[in-house]
Amino acid sequence: MEPNKHKTINGDTSLVGVLGDPVNHSLSPVIHNAALLELNLNWCYLAIPSKEIHFELVVKGLRKINCKGLNITIPYKSQAMNCCTHINNFSKNIEAVNTLVPNDNDGWSGFNTDVDGFIAPLLYEKNWAKKKALIIGTGGSAKAVAKGLDLLGLGTITCISRSNESLMKFLNIIRPNINQKTNINGITKDNLSLKHYINESNLIINATPIGMTNKSIDNNIQQIPLGREIWNNLKKDTILYDLIYTPRPTEWLKLTTQYGCKRIDGLEMLIQQGASSLRLWSGIEEMPIDIMREAAHKELLNKKL
């Protein structure tokens, strides 16, 4: 590889970035800028805050300044679809895009790389068939999680929602998008059989924001999805996968020590979905994942998160 030339921003530097509200705590700038330097791309990745009323104007405006690509985060993954002239089928079906790529028609093409990111830390296991997974939450990322589990070939996927309305909406969207052989069903969090589902699961994913706050001493804020007691039903070797990556570990993932379970947090998902976005923007297949991971770990250590 050529020696790195683009350590400073100059007149030829192009913009890439993430839009959301808030975005100031995003790790994506650190991860992406480390990759851009390694790939010798004269681009700069910024966290761009945008209020809801300005969001579509900002996205459309960024297309006019030769912006090379955008990530979209909470709460705009659905709204961003209004800014796209083309959306790939899966993103359209789950009504969420997290990556915008400039297209030849002077517009944006919308993609969703959360699925790639989610499955990356699970690919080591070759035989997911007949295994059972539980997804807590039925929001935007839960749809990417369900699709990811389907691609991995899980036998049964059960989703837990806090309301029947949200559950039905989720199942109606996701069912047409998954393999007909995959058994997908759902329950609400007050279902009396919940403990059996927990006990029988091989993989449990937290796709809610519960546990995201750092204020673990504040007893008024729920820190563990579904409450602490229900997890007494966990069996050894079940994998707990929290999409959250700060704090590390979350209170929920701390339970793995007590019950002899395995744990995965959301950092690898963040890195891998970022790498997939950068592949789409740059056309470069080989991503410097180790450099991106190292930059993320260093930043988390600096921030003591």
Residues binding ligand NAP (CB under 6 A): 74, 114, 117, 137-142, 162-163, 166, 207-210, 212, 222, 243-245, 266, 269-270, 273
Q: Name which of 139 and 155 has its Cβ closer to ligand NAP.
A: 139
* Residue whose entry in the numeric block shows the structure tokens 């592949």: 279
Residue 77 among the catalytic residues: yes
Q: Please identify the residue of the shown chain whose CB is closest to the bound ligand NAP.
A: 139
Tally of CA atoms within 13 A in the half-sphere of 150 that contains its CB: 22
Q: Nearest to residue 141, comparing CAs of 185, 174, 181?
A: 174
Query: Whole-number minimum distance, CB 15 to ligand NAP, in Å?
Result: 22
Query: Whole-number minimum distance, CB 160 to ligand NAP, in Å?
Result: 9
Do the strands 108-111 and 99-102 form a parallel or antiparallel pair, or are they unpaired?
Answer: antiparallel
Q: Nearest to residue 45, comparing CAs of 242, 277, 218?
A: 277
Query: Whole-number minimum distance, CB 261 to ligand NAP, in Å?
Result: 19
Q: How far is CA 223 from the centre of its chain?
A: 19
Q: How many CB atoms lie within 10 A of CB 114?
A: 28
Q: Which residues contact 29 (CB under 8 A, 6 or more apart)?
A: 17, 18, 45, 46, 47
- At residue 144, what are phi and psi to the nearest 5 degrees? -65, -40
- At residue 187, what are phi and psi to the nearest 5 degrees? -140, 165
Q: Name which of 44 and 120 has its Cβ closer to ligand NAP.
A: 120
Q: Name which of 163 and 179 has its Cβ closer to ligand NAP.
A: 163
Q: Name which of 5 and 25 has its Cβ closer to ligand NAP.
A: 25
Query: Whole-number minimum distance, CB 205 to ligand NAP, in Å?
Result: 9
Q: Name which of 84 and 243 has its Cβ closer to ligand NAP.
A: 243
Distance CA 259, CA 278 (A): 38
Q: What is the DSSP string of 60-122?
A: HHHHTTT--EEEE-TT-TTGGGGGEEEE-HHHHHHT---EEEE-TTSSEEEE--HHHHHHGGG
Q: Name which of 42 and 166 has its Cβ closer to ligand NAP.
A: 166
Q: Which of 7, 68, 77, 147 is catalytic?
A: 77
Give me the numbers of helices (H) and strands (E) for the chain, helices first please.
10, 12
Query: Whole-number minimum distance, CB 7 to ligand NAP, in Å?
Result: 28
Residue 181 in tokens: 């052989």
Query: Whole-number minimum distance, CB 269 to ligand NAP, in Å?
Result: 4
Which active-site residues does the annotation give?
Answer: 77
